[in-house]
Structure 1
């Protein structure tokens, strides 16, 4: 009965919150605080009726809210992520502050050390190998999963709770549970955290490629831009909701994804892991800004870029760029219409590697005045786009990509051929 009451309470409060939001009874700036307050209220009421049913009540409340498909659910999700980090950090401080010096000394007990080693090198790997029997995982993948198992806040919290319960029941050895758990958490976090990259490399499971670029909008310019990334072994993906606009990309073998980047289904069907940069280059300025703003929490504003449709912007619009949308490309800033026109007229994207003899300053001095600086690939693999709000600099080993006139390109090729002929003579 207690569990049934907790479920009904969670459903009711969840429905009540959703109803108030849909009817506009709660202003936007109060939605997150009100949800947070009602979560505490729901938990307290259920827990007062029957101990340990509060978690069931708030879980049911969350499920109810999630299935009501509220328009402001994303804002609350960001609030939840921020407050979760704050609360988890606070719990870590509170739990570790309760550890006495004797407890920390007990961590060095030979029995506790033996238990930790047994958990890390026997129990965890054996449980993984047994539970993955019949799956398509390779032995390398099973080995990596069996090794990586860091314990954290859940283990410490549960251990702290059971210590108090066992102590009340008169178990004298209950106090040993806390240093045991603390030793396991500390050992697994340090060992697995510092060794993950090394073990993954040894098992050939690490991703070696450079950070990738996700380009929203398929057109003549973005296809040529995607080619330069592919030529440098950088992951690139063109995203567009139109098969017609993607036809040229498909014909030229450019990786693409057909779908709406803002659709909820895209979150499940498109793996965003390889891509650390996003370039929005569709024919709608407002859509580009919307996409960039939507992906700020995921990618970060510094790695979100958009190509403007207009060559000149009013001062009012320019001020909005800092809070809405992505950073404006390139140097000098060029609108999408002009970029497509230049590519169609024969302009090419040229890559130039800097060296000690040919510096970035030399490159800027010798480049054609009509050329457009696009981006720099650093020797570390980092990509730095030329934008209107930041001056880039290049070093030896960096690759500069520029959109330049075909005559300039032909002259470069001719000079290179002449140099090769002279070397042969």
Structure 2
């Protein structure tokens, strides 16, 4: 197989796995791992066949993997905001310190006592398995859609523990080579000091420099995303040259620092990095899983399953419960969910690949004395062992996290709720009937009277600007799957729909028809910065407001064999259909609606003169 064909297959399979995961609501990582393993198994070709031989950090593949992982962690750091720590800061701190130490100790003990591994190999795996990572956490959070508090805790833990786990692996390796802690303690403390100096202090200085360059417009807008990419690569490589694996800490702190400075916006950079992250994750998982032979998996399977069972059933739950035992910031339900959510991802795979080679090379040079041959054999098992843990944890948590979150009341049973930008009479009327039918409805408006009127109806409403940083970063969107931008200002609606595309996707953002839609193209706003318009007849804000003021009311009608959509249109010719609800959930009605399936509930704004004195059985 030619290198070009192999690279093309990696890209095609990566995109196909992501699409299938979205289509069938499956964990994307699971499909990526399966596709990668299948590609390597059936084609007999692996990425190593096209690369020059190397070992340790001289391996071109592992060097590339390390750099790509650094980009992922930097992007993850850009999503971490300090305002999320107001109610979840202490749990995050405990999970990233006490829980890491407990997990490390428990896993190391189990591998040594139960699986018979050398203590040094056990400690290496114990350190690596403390990580989770944004590559698996981010897709799971999108799939589960938990409460904002839980999402913040899981996201912070998943990103922060990755460099901690990598640093712990470095320290374990130094102790293993030295023979014992007392022999290596000077070198260890020196390494920790260098890592903190480079990874924290160095990253903060670098972040300040980048902030100044961007604030003074010394880097043009079109160059900023790739400029940051180069900075990340330089920070990662430079840090690793000073101290091994310090680069992951550096890029994570760099991302957090840039995300929380206030002088320049990095939103456009974050959007670029998010798109890049999806591509990187797709390529990395397929490439790394494709390097593993079926024979290696078969040999590691018994020990892998035993370790998986321990990690899922004992290791993670015990670490979480003990670390959060006396925490008043988390409830028992929240602890239960956190105890059963710790999938491993690309950082675990990458760090294992690097240190497995390091241990194997050290064993080949007799650095472990008489145990060197044994450790060399055990080192060769590590990659397949961790691969099984990754597959197992992604499978278990990917399939169980969403039902568990709903069962514990930490996630909405559906994500069909509606966020209304604007709390005016027609959005309140629509929100009221949807709320009464059990759908979550949230209205945002800057007008105090409008918000008060919504609350008087029993609706969830908040005085806030839909374009504010608060709305984008601090709103709890749990259960909400649609935005209806319905303010009187067309430009605000356009910008709101554009900004919330990230949360709801293009299919989930709608803006009320603009008033200039019939104007000449010289006068009307360009279509590419607008979103789709909802509701039949494509009404604008003025028309809907006028109808409600004239006595129009929201009514719901279920389509039946006797009273179908044709009958509905004949009965209410001037009605505007606003929402449809069926087995697929609640959604805005499109502007062109000609057919509605039997069993669908139609929510429509019906003019006063068409409202019957006695409501038919189908209409309520």
Q: For residues 185 and 127 of structure 1, what CA distance do their matches in structure 2 show?
A: 19
Please state whether the residue corresponding to 2:528 is helix, strand or coil. coil
What runs of 5+ residues in structure 2 fail to find an aligned partner?
1-192, 364-374
The alpha-carbon deviation at position 325 of structure 1 amounts to 2.9
Change (3 A) 1:28 1:391: farther
Aligned position for 2:231 = 38
Aligned position for 2:600 = 398
Please state whether the residue corresponding to 1:108 is helix, strand or coil. helix
Residue 315 of structure 2 corresponds to residue 123 of structure 1: yes
Query: Cα deviations across residues 291-317 of structure 1 (Å, max 9, x unaligned)?
Result: 111111121222111223527532427
Residue 545 of structure 2 corresponds to residue 343 of structure 1: no
Moved more, 157-166 or 62-71: 62-71
The alpha-carbon deviation at position 161 of structure 1 amounts to 2.1
Aligned position for 1:360 = 565
Aligned position for 1:114 = 306
Please state whether the residue corresponding to 1:107 is helix, strand or coil. helix
Q: 2:287 aligns with which of 89, 94, 99?
A: 94
Q: 1:250 aligns with which of 436, 455, 468?
A: 455
The alpha-carbon deviation at position 205 of structure 1 amounts to 5.6
The alpha-carbon deviation at position 322 of structure 1 amounts to 4.2
Query: Aligned-pair RMSD on alpha carbons?
Result: 2.8
1:291–1:325 contact (8 Å) kept in structure 2: no
Structure (1/2) with the larger helix percentage? 2
Aligned position for 1:148 = 341
Residue 601 of structure 2 corresponds to residue 409 of structure 1: no
Please state whether the residue corresponding to 1:277 is helix, strand or coil. strand
Q: For residues 561 and 421 of structure 2, what CA distance do their matches in structure 1 show?
A: 36
The alpha-carbon deviation at position 200 of structure 1 amounts to 4.7
Change (3 A) 1:84 1:279: same
Q: 1:370 aligns with which of 559, 574, 587?
A: 574
List aligned pairs for 1:56-75, cutoff 5 A.
56-75=249-268
The alpha-carbon deviation at position 324 of structure 1 amounts to 1.3
Please state whether the residue corresponding to 2:423 is helix, strand or coil. coil
Q: For residues 392 and 151 of structure 1, what CA distance do their matches in structure 2 show?
A: 48
Q: For residues 362 and 469 of structure 2, what CA distance do their matches in structure 1 show?
A: 50
Query: Cα deviations across residues 224-261 of structure 1 (Å, max 9, x unaligned)?
Result: 11112112211101111221222221222221011222
Q: 1:189 aligns with which of 391, 394, 402?
A: 394
Residue 380 of structure 2 corresponds to residue 175 of structure 1: yes
Moved more, 2-11 or 166-175: 2-11
Change (3 A) 1:48 1:302: same
2:535–2:588 contact (8 Å) kept in structure 1: no
Q: For residues 390 and 561 of structure 2, what CA distance do their matches in structure 1 show?
A: 49
Q: For residues 291 and 203 of structure 2, what CA distance do their matches in structure 1 show?
A: 33
TM-score when normalising by structure 2 = 0.61
Structure (1/2) with the larger strand percentage? 1
1:215–1:281 contact (8 Å) kept in structure 2: yes
Q: 1:334 aligns with which of 507, 529, 539?
A: 539
Q: For residues 339 and 204 of structure 1, what CA distance do their matches in structure 2 show?
A: 36
List aligned pairs for 1:21-36, cutoff 5 A.
21-36=214-229
1:242–1:258 contact (8 Å) kept in structure 2: yes
Please state whether the residue corresponding to 2:444 is helix, strand or coil. strand
Change (3 A) 1:229 1:59: same
Which structure has more relative contact order (CA 8 Å, sep 6+)? It is: 2
TM-score when normalising by structure 1 = 0.87
Q: For residues 177 and 154 of structure 1, what CA distance do their matches in structure 2 show?
A: 14
List aligned pairs for 1:159-170, cutoff 5 A.
159-170=352-363
Please state whether the residue corresponding to 2:562 is helix, strand or coil. coil
